[in-house]
Structure formats: C-alpha cells, structure tokens
Amino acid sequence: MNNLSSKIVKLLTKQKLTVSFAESCTGGLLASSITSISGSSKVFNMGLVTYSNNAKVKLLKVPKKTITNYGAVSYETCLLMVKNLSKISKSNISISITGVAGPNGGTKEKPVGLVYIGLKKGRKTIIKKNLFKNKKRILIQKGTVKHALKMILSIL
C-alpha cells in the first residue's frame, strides 16, 4: 500500500491537486496511508471518519431518509457522502467509503465484506461496489484502502 500511496502523493503534487476522504468502515486507514508519506501535506486536505449514521447526517449532510430507506451501506449513501464531501472540502478529488467490515453486522442482503467506494473528480463520479471474500476485519479494511488507492491512481 505504501508504494501506491507514494505514487499518488507524487502525482497529486506534480498535478497540483488535492484529495479528501470520508471514511466509515476503514476508520481513517485511507487517510493514514496518505499522511504517512512525506510531502502529503501539500495534497491532503481533510479526512473525516463518519463512522456513525449521525456523523454521516451531521457532517456530510446525508439525509436521514436516505440512510433509513437504503441503509448506511448502500450505493445511495456512498454517492451522497462523496458528493457532499466534495462540496465541503473543495478538493479536486474526493473519496467516500462505507461498508461492513465485520466480523459481525452482516445480513443476507449486506454481508460482511460488502463495501462501497465513491470517487469524485470534477464532473466525474464513480461508485464501486466491492465484495471482499475474506471475512477478517483488518483484511477487509486493508483491501478497501488498496481498492480506493487504485481508483485514485486510475484517474491521475
């Protein structure tokens, strides 16, 4: 992961772009992967750990109705998280993450390992649904961070 993070920090610096994150199930792991790189202060704007539904509503302005209707772990919530983060942070690139890291909390519809990653750059918004097969919490979190980093790299 460190290699990916280094590459991203270099490319963001070169392109004079900034990045912000709104993380739920990864609890700041994505922000940590970027801020562990020297020079990241030039490109890293903010990282919000919106773990609770209340934080998603209060900080990211995700309507309670969206969470009630679709759940915190949903395409719809992830989309609103990334769109609103983009407005709040004014960063060039915004990433949102919401998922079920387990080992508990999964359901038939939303099993442990289900994670949505949202990316917004300019007018382009991508929401990717991932289903991590390994049910170990840390592996789901690390796998999510790796996917998010690869998504950022793909648009740089």
Question: Which residues on adjacent β-strands are paired with residue 115?
Answer: 99, 130
pTM exceeding the 0.85 threshold for the entire prediction: yes
The list of the chain residues with pLDDT below 70 reads 1
Contact 51, 24 (CB under 8 A): yes
| Rounded Cα gap, residues 33 and 91, in angstroms | 18
- Cβ neighbours of 138 (radius 10 Å): 11
Q: Number of folded domains in the chain? A: 1
Domain that holds residue 58: 2-10+17-154
User: Residue 136 belongs to a domain with what CATH number?
Assistant: 3.90.950.20
Beta-bridged to residue 127, according to DSSP, are 118
Q: Which two tokens stand for residue 12?
A: 């963001």
105-138 pLDDT, tens digit per residue, is 899 999 999 999 999 999 999 999 999 998 899 9
